Structure 1
Amino acid sequence: MICRMWHGITPRSKADAYADLLEPALSGYRAVPGNISAQVLRRDEAEVTHFMTVTYWESEDSIRAFAGDDVLTARYFPEDDGYLLAFEPFVQHYTVAAVLGAA
Structure 2
Amino acid sequence: MICRIWHGITPRAKADAYARFLEQRAIPDYRSVSGNRSVAVLRRDEAEVTHFMTVTHWDSEESIRAFAGDALLTAKYYPEDRDYLLEFEPQVRHYVVSAFESSG
> What TM-score, normalized to structure 2?
0.95
- Give RMSD over aligned pairs: 1.2
CA offset digits 1:25-70 (Å, max 9, x no partner): 2011011011001111000011000000010000000000000000
Asked if residue 76 in structure 1 is aligned to residue 77 in structure 2, the reply is yes
What is the rounded CA distance, in whole Å, between the counterparts of 1:69 and 1:29 in structure 2?
Answer: 16
Gaps of 5+ in 2: none
Distance 1:7 1:64, change over 3 A: same
Which whole-Å CA distance do the structure 2 matches of 1:28 and 1:91 have between them?
17
SS of residue in 2 equivalent to 1:98:
coil
Runs of 4+ residues over 2 Å off in structure 1: 100-103
Q: 2:66 maps to which residue?
A: 65
What is the identity, as a one-letter code, of the residue corresponding to 1:38?
V
SS class of match (1:19): helix
Q: Which residue of structure 1 lines up, in the alignment, with residue 35 of structure 2?
A: 34
1:102 offset after TM fit, Å?
4.2
Unpaired segments ≥5 residues, structure 1: none
Alignment: residue pair count? 103
- Between the aligned partners of 1:7 and 1:43, the Cα distance in structure 2 is 11
Instruction: Tell me, in whole angstroms, the C-alpha distance in 2 between the residues paired with 1:101 and 1:29.
Output: 18
Distance 2:72 2:52 in 1: 20
